[in-house]
Amino acid sequence: AKKSGRSTFRIYRRGMDELIEKRRALEADIERGLEREEFELYLQPRVAARSGDVVGYEALIRWNHPERGMVSPGDFIPVAEVSGKIIALGEWVVREACRLASLCPDHLHLSLNVSPVQFRHPDFLSHLDRIVRVSGIAPQRLELEITESVLIDDDERALSILTHLKSAGFRIALDDFGTGYSSLSYLSRYPFDVIKIDRSFVAALGTEEAANSIVRTIIDLGRGLGMRVVAEGVETIEQAVHLSETGCDELQGYLLGRPLPAAEAVTEITNTLVR
């Protein structure tokens, strides 16, 4: 038993080593990728439920890797977070989002995802402030999407950062609402402008009884607190109709538009204006 235990351990160790090696390669790759401009933002529209007007776009990062092909954020954001590379990557996202916002008409806002690691970094506020100031766009046009996980560790600090962001003029959205350690007290304690209903609830609409109640409750709660409520992952007309009728303010999902490479999206936006 001892012997097989040891060889199991050896296999385990080898597996670990390979994992660490892979992760290290990916880390180095992220740095090179930034230098070689392999990252790209895609834009997905957010649409007012009542009018159908596009009110803004969410920026979603993609990695056009020379060997691996298109790598999705789920595969490299976690590694970037553990290694600290998320800081450089996050700054690039802010810079690029500002550039894109400046190319779009003023009434459109741009949402960007902020990692908890980035959010907690001591230089987050000052870097954000500097990048936005240099870009010349109004902070009101940027919406920062954060998840509940930034709120759990250090309440006071999170509150202080959020308050700073608010007073600087940024809009703040609580992403993936309902999936984390959702606590109702978060919603009244923190100055959110927007809550985004996680797409798992949207997907379950009409098929799971509980989903309808949860969605209705989130919408009533958000609106009662004066926030805009956005549903993500809207894929069918039935979902869109149900959400609009329940009072959801905005919709986002493949039904309304897939994420498009930013250059393409911007061309489309400016062409629509001319027409």
- Confirm or reject binding of residue 145 to Ca ion (CB under 5 A): yes
Report the residue number, 139 or 257, with the smaller CB distance to ligand C2E.
257
Q: Pick out residues in 154-213 that bind ligand C2E (CB under 6 A).
A: 175-176, 199
- Choice from 1, 3, 7, 74 touching ligand C2E (CB under 6 A): 74
- Choice from 60, 151, 205, 227 touching ligand C2E (CB under 6 A): 60
98 token code pair: 């500002």
- Maximum Cα–Cα distance for the chain, whole Å? 76
Report the residue number, 93 or 187, with the smaller CB distance to ligand C2E.
93
Report the residue number, 31 or 255, with the smaller CB distance to Ca ion.
255
Report the residue number, 61 or 214, with the smaller CB distance to ligand C2E.
61
Residue for token pair 């199991």: 8
Report the residue number, 176 or 250, with the smaller CB distance to ligand C2E.
176
Q: Pick out residues in 115-154 that bind ligand C2E (CB under 6 A).
A: 115
Shortest distance (Å) from residue 176 CB to Ca ion = 4
Q: Which are the contacts of 247, defined by CB distance < 8 A and separation ≥ 6?
A: 219, 220, 223, 229
- Confirm or reject binding of residue 77 to ligand C2E (CB under 6 A): yes
Contacts with ligand C2E, 78-117, as mask; x by CB under 6 A: ---------------x-------------------x-x--
The region of 71-79, 134-142, 183-191, 241-249 touching ligand C2E under the rule CB under 6 A is 71-79
Shortest distance (Å) from residue 17 CB to Ca ion = 31
Shortest distance (Å) from residue 61 CB to ligand C2E = 4
Q: What is the DSSP string of the chain?
A: -HHHHHHHHHHHHHHHHHHHHHHHHHHHHHHHHHHTT-EEEEEEEEEETTT--EEEEEEEEEEEETTTEEE-HHHHHHHHHHHSTHHHHHHHHHHHHHHHHHHS-TT-EEEEE--HHHHHSTTHHHHHHHHHHHHT--GGGEEEEEETHHHHS-HHHHHHHHHHHHHHT-EEEEEEETSSS--HHHHHHS--SEEEE-HHHHHHTTT-HHHHHHHHHHHHHHHHTT-EEEE----SHHHHHHHHHHT--EE-STTT---EEHHHHHHHHHHHHH-
Report the residue number, 175 or 249, with the smaller CB distance to Ca ion.
175
Q: Pick out residues in 146-185 that bind Ca ion (CB under 5 A).
A: 175-176
**What CA–CA distance (Å, rounded) separates 243 from 216?**
8
253 binds, among Ca ion, ligand C2E, none (CB under 5 to 8 A by kind): ligand C2E
- Confirm or reject binding of residue 96 to Ca ion (CB under 5 A): no
Residue for token pair 């919408």: 219
**What CA–CA distance (Å, rounded) separates 51 from 46?**
12
56 token code pair: 């803004």
- Choice from 253, 262, 265, 269 touching ligand C2E (CB under 6 A): 253
Residues contributing to the site for ligand C2E (CB under 6 A): 44, 60-61, 72-74, 77, 93, 113, 115, 175-176, 199, 232-235, 253-254, 259
List residues binding Ca ion (CB under 5 A). Answer: 113, 145, 175-176
